[in-house]
């Protein structure tokens, strides 16, 4: 199996399930997508990925994911759902991140 990896950042606001104060994070996202057939140009794939996640970047995660899911784990699950990535990691500088394989 060949996977393409894509690295990107998503800057977004949230309250999330644990904090009533509106605040923001820059999430460092890495995702792994299986390559079926001939691999696409990596830059093209990254552009398509960013377009599919555009509403998350500079968005309010509570609105997009629901407040209970506005977490690093919820963000990873949403990225998996939208892109079919078999593995997603989400990290941030000031708190816990996650890595999920599907
Ligand atoms: Zn937070």
Write down the pLDDT at residue 35: 80
Question: Structure tokens of 52?
Answer: 């599919």
Q: What is the 97 CA–ligand 1 centroid distance (Å)?
A: 11
Close Cβ partners of 102 (under 8 Å, ≥ 6 residues apart): 80, 85, 86, 87, 88
List, for the chain, all residue ranges whose pLDDT scores fall below the cut of 70. Answer: 39
Q: What is the 6 CA–ligand 1 centroid distance (Å)?
A: 23
The CATH homologous superfamily for domain 3-101 is: 6-pyruvoyl tetrahydropterin synthase/QueD (3.30.479.10)
Close Cβ partners of 78 (under 8 Å, ≥ 6 residues apart): 56, 64, 65, 69
Q: What is the 8 CA–ligand 1 centroid distance (Å)?
A: 18
Domain boundaries, the chain: 3-101
Q: What is the 16 CA–ligand 1 centroid distance (Å)?
A: 7
């Amino acid at each position: 199996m060949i996977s393409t990896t894509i690295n990107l950042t998503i800057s977004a606001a949230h309250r999330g399930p644990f904090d009533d104060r509106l605040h923001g994070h820059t999430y460092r996202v890495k995702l792994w997508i299986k390559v079926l057939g001939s691999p696409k140009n990596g830059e093209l794939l990254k552009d398509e990925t960013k377009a599919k996640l555009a509403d998350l970047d500079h968005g309010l995660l509570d609105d997009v994911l629901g407040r209970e899911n506005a977490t690093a784990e919820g963000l990873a699950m949403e990225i998996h759902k939208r892109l079919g990535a078999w593995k997603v990691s989400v990290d941030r500088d000031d708190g816990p991140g996650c890595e999920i394989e599907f």
